[in-house]
């Protein structure tokens, strides 16, 4: 017995996928569109560039001398200096660790990150009333920022480009972004950075690539560590995004993301 068309569309609405375009009853999914392939190639290029930059940064960290003017250690000398003097030297391991994590003196940074992103709360014509669901996607994020203070502490402004996708749709989300880096450990380049952003969201379903548009507001926080005042790693356990726009009518959407990544300071 044939199913009613509304029954075919029910699982997609129930999952909260407000960007996905409804599929006509009885139609089979078509081949990936040119938009789909272009997005895939773009993401591959971004990831490849990130790997190359990360490899170069790691090589510079390994080869970076802790003291370029220091004389090479003589054969037979004890670690930490001091030679045969039992009272001299010591503490070289902690000294090198401190030099590796010296607080950054550079105000600028460029980072990239990857991780999962989830829908949480939707409302609008696509789904009457309020409903809760989880629709997981993959996210790639690029950030660029600069601190007012002249080093890596305090307020910073910049921009971010976030892209998320799954098997049904793709979202492109550029935004202006504001950070406030707080050094949490004295004399070490360990920071906590709450942030906020405001921007634009463009969604596209793969089947017909009919674009939808929205306004984006986001808040969150991340932990950052800087090595040798050059390379940076971060983890972003909290990022919440709100989307307002003409997604199948008047729609409100909340998104939650978790990212890890790294980059360079300048």
CATH of the domain at 168: 2.40.160.20
pLDDT in tens, the chain (266 residues): 554 554 444 444 444 444 444 444 444 444 445 555 555 566 556 555 555 554 454 445 445 444 545 455 555 444 444 444 444 444 555 566 678 999 999 999 999 999 999 865 554 444 443 344 456 789 999 999 999 999 999 999 999 999 998 887 788 999 999 999 999 998 999 999 999 999 999 888 777 677 888 899 999 999 999 999 999 999 999 999 998 887 545 577 888 999 999 999 99
Cα–Cα dist 52/161, whole Å: 19
Cα–Cα dist 97/212, whole Å: 50
The reported pLDDT for the residue numbered 23 is: 46
The helix or strand, by DSSP H or E, that contains position 58, with its residue range, turns out to be: helix 34-63
The reported pLDDT for the residue numbered 45 is: 61
What number of residues does the chain have?
266
The reported pLDDT for the residue numbered 251 is: 72
Q: Into how many domains does the chain fold?
A: 1
Helix, strand or coil for residue 54? helix
Inter-residue contact 119 to 255 (CB < 8 Å)? yes
The reported pLDDT for the residue numbered 170 is: 86
The reported pLDDT for the residue numbered 189 is: 96
The reported pLDDT for the residue numbered 245 is: 80
For 138-147, write each residue's pLDDT tens digit: 999 999 999 9
Residue 82 belongs to some domain of the structure: no
Residue 259 belongs to some domain of the structure: yes
Residue 70 belongs to some domain of the structure: no
Cα–Cα dist 203/188, whole Å: 41
Residue 89 belongs to some domain of the structure: no
pTM of the model: 0.65
Cα–Cα dist 119/3, whole Å: 28
Residue 207 belongs to some domain of the structure: yes
Residue 43 belongs to some domain of the structure: yes
Residue 13 belongs to some domain of the structure: yes
Residue 98 belongs to some domain of the structure: no
The reported pLDDT for the residue numbered 38 is: 58
Beta-bridge partner residues of 177: 158, 197
The reported pLDDT for the residue numbered 18 is: 41
Cα–Cα dist 105/66, whole Å: 16
The reported pLDDT for the residue numbered 118 is: 84
Q: What is the domain extent for residue 205?
A: 9-22+30-54+106-265
């Amino acid at each position: 017995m044939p199913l009613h068309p509304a029954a075919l569309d029910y699982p997609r609405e129930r999952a909260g996928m407000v960007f996905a375009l409804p599929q006509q009853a009885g139609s089979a999914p078509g081949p990936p569109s040119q938009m789909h392939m272009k997005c895939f190639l773009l993401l591959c290029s971004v990831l490849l560039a990130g790997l190359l930059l990360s490899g170069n940064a790691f090589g510079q960290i390994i080869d970076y001398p802790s003291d370029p003017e220091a004389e090479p250690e003589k054969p037979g000398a004890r670690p930490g200096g001091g030679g045969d003097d039992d009272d001299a030297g010591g503490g070289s391991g902690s000294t090198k660790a401190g030099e590796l994590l010296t607080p950054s003196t550079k105000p600028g940074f460029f980072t990239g990150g990857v991780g999962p992103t989830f829908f949480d709360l939707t409302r609008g014509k696509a789904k009457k009333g309020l409903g809760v669901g989880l629709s997981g996607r993959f996210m790639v994020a690029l950030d660029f920022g600069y601190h007012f203070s002249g080093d890596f502490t305090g307020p910073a402004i910049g921009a971010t480009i976030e892209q998320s996708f799954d098997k049904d749709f793709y979202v492109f989300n550029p935004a202006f972004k504001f950070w406030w880096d707080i050094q949490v450990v004295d004399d070490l380049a360990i920071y906590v950075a709450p942030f906020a952003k405001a921007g634009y969201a463009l969604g596209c379903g793969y089947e017909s690539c009919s674009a939808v548009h929205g306004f984006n507001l986001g808040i969150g926080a991340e932990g950052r560590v800087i090595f040798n005042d050059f390379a940076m790693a971060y983890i972003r356990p909290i990022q919440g995004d709100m989307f307002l726009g003409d997604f199948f009518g008047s729609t409100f959407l909340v998104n939650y993301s978790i990212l890890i990544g790294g980059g360079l300071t300048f």
